[in-house]
Chain A
Amino acid sequence: MIVLKKICLEKNQKPIFTNFDLTIQAKERLVIWGASGSGKTTLLRLIAGLNQPDSGEIWFDNHLATSGENILIPPHQRELNMVFQDLALWSHLSVKGNIAFGLKIARLPKAIINQKVKEMLFFIGLEGYENRTIESLSGGEQQRIALARALVTNPKILLMDEPLSGLDAHRNRELRLEIVRLQKILGFTLVYVTHNQREAEAIATQILSL
C-alpha cells in the first residue's frame, strides 16, 4: 500500500499540490487522469522518489519513504519500476541488454538472467528479439520492451507515465489489454498516468482526476 500524506509542492512559485492525500491499495490499477500541467507526472516521480515534495510524507507498507525534502528510502529500494513517457530505452544496448540491465545490477547468475529475459520476451510476445537493436523496433515493440524491462525485476509497483501516447488507436488498444493482462498475471500495483479518458477507463480499477 502506498500512502501520500499532506503533500505540498510548488514549481516556479505555482502550487502543484497543497495538502494532497492519496492512498493506493496493493494490486489495484490506479489511473491518474488530467490535463497537461496538472501534476500527473510529478506525482509519479514523487512516488518513485525521483523528486521530493516541499513537505508531506510518502509511506510504503508502513515504511516512511519520503519525509518532506528527505528521501529516506532511495528509488531503487522502493520495489517499484517505471515506464517513462519517452520510454528511455538505452540505444547502445540490445533488446536483451535493456531487459537484463536490472538483473545484471542485482548480480544474478548469467543462466538465470538469460532465462528471465526469455520468459519476459515470451510474456510480451516478442520471442527471439534478444539481439535486435532498439532502432530496429517499431513504436509498439519499443513500448513492449520498455514494459518488459520494468517488469523483469518483479517490482511490487509499476509506474507508467503516458506510455501509449505515441501510438495509433489500434496499437493503443492492443497494448492497453496487454498491460491489464500482465498486471492480472503478475499481480503488481499499477499507477498509470494518461490524459486520454478512454485509456483511463479501460485500464483502471480506480481513477484519480487531477
Chain B
Amino acid sequence: MDNDAILRVEHLNKSFYRYQVLTDVNYTMKKGDLAAIIGPNGAGKTTFFNLITGYHTVSRGRILFKEREITNWPRHRIARTGITRAFQVSNIFPKLTAYQNVRQSILAHQNKTLDFFTPAERLAEKETTELLEITGLAPHRGTEAGILSQGDKKKLELALALGSKPDLLLLDEPTAGMSSEETHETMELVKRLNQEVGLTILFTEHDISVIFGYARKLSVLHQGVLVAEGTPDEVRRNEQAQKCYLGEEI
C-alpha cells in the first residue's frame, strides 16, 4: 500500500443500464500531485470525477480518500472530507454576486452557515476579498454571477472550489471557454496553488499545450479503460496512448 496516497481508486466500474462507462479503473494520487486525465470525448473523464465526488453512484469498486473509504457517500459529506471540484460547464450561484458566491463557499467551509443572527456581510470579508483577488475577479465583486463572461464564470467556479480549502481539487476542463491569456493566467494559478500551497490537483483538459505544459503525471482514458499512465514524456512515447488519444503521435 502506498502511504503517500491521498486518493486511491480500486477496480472502479460504472455502467448506465447496459452501457459500461468505466471498466476496472485503478488510480492513485499522491499528496501534492498535479495530474491530468486525458482522453477523447466520451472516454469517461467526467464520469470518473462524478464518481469520486458522489455525483453518480459507483456500480462496483471502491474509492479511498486519505485512507478512508468514501464510496457512494453523499456529495456534501465528500466535500467536507476535503474533495472539491470545478465543473466543465460553469456551475455557480447566478443570482448572487461574485463576492457572495465566494463568501458562501468560505462560510460553508468555516461551518458558519447555521448562524442565524450575524449579518453575512460582516463575515469572511478578508478571505473572500483575497480569493477574488487571487482569481482575478476583484473588479467583478459586485456583479451578479449570472451575467459574468464565460471566462469569468470559470474563474468563479475555481474560486468557489478554493473557498472550501480542499485537500484535493478536481478541475474538469478548467480553461474551457477562456481566451489564451485567461488560460495562461488560470493554469499559472493552478501551478502556484500546487507548488506554493501544496494542493493536490487533478484536472481534465483538451488543450494539449496545457496538459503537457502543467501536468506532472498523465493518465489516458479510452472508452472507460485506463490505457496508459506516467510522466508526460512516458505518455508521449506510449504507442497505445498515441493511438487512442489522437490516432496520431502526441
Q: Do A and B come from one complex?
A: no
Q: Chain A residues in contact with chain B, CB under 8 A? A: none
Chain B residues with CB under 8 Å of chain A are none
